[in-house]
C-alpha cells in the first residue's frame, strides 16, 4: 500500500453529515472522496469545478444612499412591469416539491 498522509480540516457539521449520507449511498468512504478531489486538483491544476459569485447578491439596504436605494426599487419595479416575477405560491410549491417543506 502507498504511504499516506493525514489531513485535518474543519467543516460545518451539517455539511459533513449531508456529504456522509450521499457518499454512503454511493459506496464511497469520505477519505476516498477527499482523495479523488485532491487528485482532480492536481490533474486540472486548480479547483475541479467552476467557482463564481452568484448572479444575484443580497443588498444590505442600510448601506445604500438614497439614490442607490431608489435605483434598487426602480429595478424591482421594472422586473414587475416586465413580468419577471414568481408568485409566493409557486415558490412554496417548488420548495415543497424539491425539499419537502
Residue 59 CB-half CA count within 13 A: 13
Instruction: Please give the average per-residue pLDDT across 33-56, as a whole number.
Output: 92
Instruction: Please give the average per-residue pLDDT across 11-38, as a whole number.
Output: 95
pLDDT of residue 1: 60
Give CA–CA dist 95/101, Å, rounded: 6
pLDDT at 65 over 70: yes
Ordered domains of the chain (ranges, CATH): 1-52 (1.10.1220), 61-99 (no CATH)
DSSP assignment of 32-58 equals: HHHHHHHHHHHHHTS-SS-----SS--
Residue whose C-alpha cell is 486548480: 46
Instruction: Say which residues have a Cβ less than 8 Å from residue 85's Cβ, sequence separation at least 6.
Output: 79
Name the residue among 15, 41, 44 with its Cα closest to residue 30: 15
When the pLDDT of each residue in the chain is averaged and rounded to a whole number, the result is 91
Amino acid at each position: 500500500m502507498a504511504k499516506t498522509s493525514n489531513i485535518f480540516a474543519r467543516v460545518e457539521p451539517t455539511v459533513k453529515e449531508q456529504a456522509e449520507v450521499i457518499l454512503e449511498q454511493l459506496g464511497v468512504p469520505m477519505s476516498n472522496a477527499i482523495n479523488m478531489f485532491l487528485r482532480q486538483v492536481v490533474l486540472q491544476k486548480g479547483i475541479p469545478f467552476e467557482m463564481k459569485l452568484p448572479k444575484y447578491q443580497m443588498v444590505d439596504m442600510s448601506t445604500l444612499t438614497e439614490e442607490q436605494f431608489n435605483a434598487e426599487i426602480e429595478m424591482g419595479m421594472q422586473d414587475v412591469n416586465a413580468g419577471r416575477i414568481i408568485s409566493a405560491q409557486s415558490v412554496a410549491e417548488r420548495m415543497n416539491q424539491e425539499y419537502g417543506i
